[in-house]
Amino acid sequence: MTLRVVHRRRGDVIAQKATIIAVTNQKGGVGKSTTCENLGIGLAMEGKKVLLVDTDPQGSLTISMGWQQPDELPTTLSTLMQKAMNDQPIQPGEGILHHAEGVDLIPANIELAGLEVTLVNSMNREKMLKQVLDSAKREYDFILLDCMPSLGMLTINALAAADAALIPVQAQYLSAKGLEQLLQTVQKVRRQINPKLKIEGILLTMTDSRTNYGKQISNLIRQAYGKHLKVFEQTIPRSVRAAETSAAGKSIFAYDPKGKVAEAYKSLAKEVLADANRQRKLSSERAR
């Protein structure tokens, strides 16, 4: 696989400020880490500079990208957030790992669970992750945050730092039910902490269009939420090969490049890119 090197001029418009997307759902097993990794690498294949951030103490994203022993990493997100809490400077590039497929990663490990507890008593506790990312914003086009399966303080930090939330939902009835609570949390964060937060869209994952049940659930979600929210046209099909990628430490593009899941994530990256370009255009028109 060839990686394109993107050379930047200092005044390059697109590099002024990254679009930050939180990939979030309080339900586990809906494909958040898989989506974060493959969407990120899909955007890098489109020539964008991408940073992935693992905000889950279980370190699923870190492990699936090939760092199998996250607890042994010297610098992780918890190191950087601790620095932000103590008002210590964070050096450019500190704690950032480079992945062979052209994206960067701020990893996470179990230390983050301890940090979440201390966050509760910290001043400005919802904005610690935002402080960590402020210095990286000018270096990247996209920053994707892989959120933990809960609506705790770390997820609130991710939503407070993000421009948009992308919500993977498994095409099953119970997953669809849990959406309400998440949408209420997003509303609350928008009202109280981050007025610019929007919902990028609902992404249906692990879909099976061959069964009537699968089609019914997809239609149900589109009918229930499609009037008010974007439901991505592109869905992510269920696939055994995709499930094997995390053990291999590679993305679906390196593991099964011609498969239907790689095609789906490629198409999703194009959809996300088109949305970001539209938003940028709107912002620059408003600024005039």
Nearest to 139 by CA among 91, 77, 93, 101: 93
- Rounded to an integer, what distance in angstroms lies between the CA atom of residue 157 and that of residue 155? 5
Note whether residue 258 is domain-resident: yes
Which pLDDT tens digit goes with each residue over 198-207? 999 999 998 8
- Rounded to an integer, what distance in angstroms lies between the CA atom of residue 50 and that of residue 57? 21
Which pLDDT tens digit goes with each residue over 239-272? 877 777 777 778 999 998 999 999 999 999 999 9
Cβ neighbours of 145 (radius 10 Å): 31
Note whether residue 60 is domain-resident: yes
Assess contact for 182 and 24: CB atoms under 8 A.
yes
Strands of 97-98's sheet in order across:
97-98, 104-106, 50-54, 142-146, 19-23, 164-170, 198-207, 236-237
Assess contact for 66 and 250: CB atoms under 8 A.
yes
- Rounded to an integer, what distance in angstroms lies between the CA atom of residue 222 and that of residue 229? 9
Note whether residue 282 is domain-resident: no
Given the structure tokens 């610690």, which residue do they identify? 128
Which pLDDT tens digit goes with each residue over 36-47? 999 999 999 999
Note whether residue 177 is domain-resident: yes
Note whether residue 288 is domain-resident: no
In this model, does residue 4 exceed pLDDT 50? no
Which pLDDT tens digit goes with each residue over 278-287? 888 887 777 7
Note whether residue 281 is domain-resident: no
Residue 105, C-beta contacts closer than 8 angstroms, at least 6 positions apart: 51, 52, 53, 54, 61, 62, 65, 67, 96, 97, 98, 99
- Length in residues, the chain: 288
Domain that holds residue 55: 17-268
- Rounded to an integer, what distance in angstroms lies between the CA atom of residue 233 and that of residue 267? 9
pLDDT at 158: 97
Q: How many domains does the chain have?
A: 1
- pLDDT confidence of 97, banded at 50, 70, 90? very high
Note whether residue 287 is domain-resident: no
Note whether residue 77 is domain-resident: yes
**Mean pLDDT within 124-141:** 92
Q: What is the CATH number of the domain that holds 78?
A: 3.40.50.300
Determine the Cα angle at 172 with ends 250 and 253, to 5°. 15
pLDDT at 144: 98
Higher pLDDT pick, 196 / 243: 196
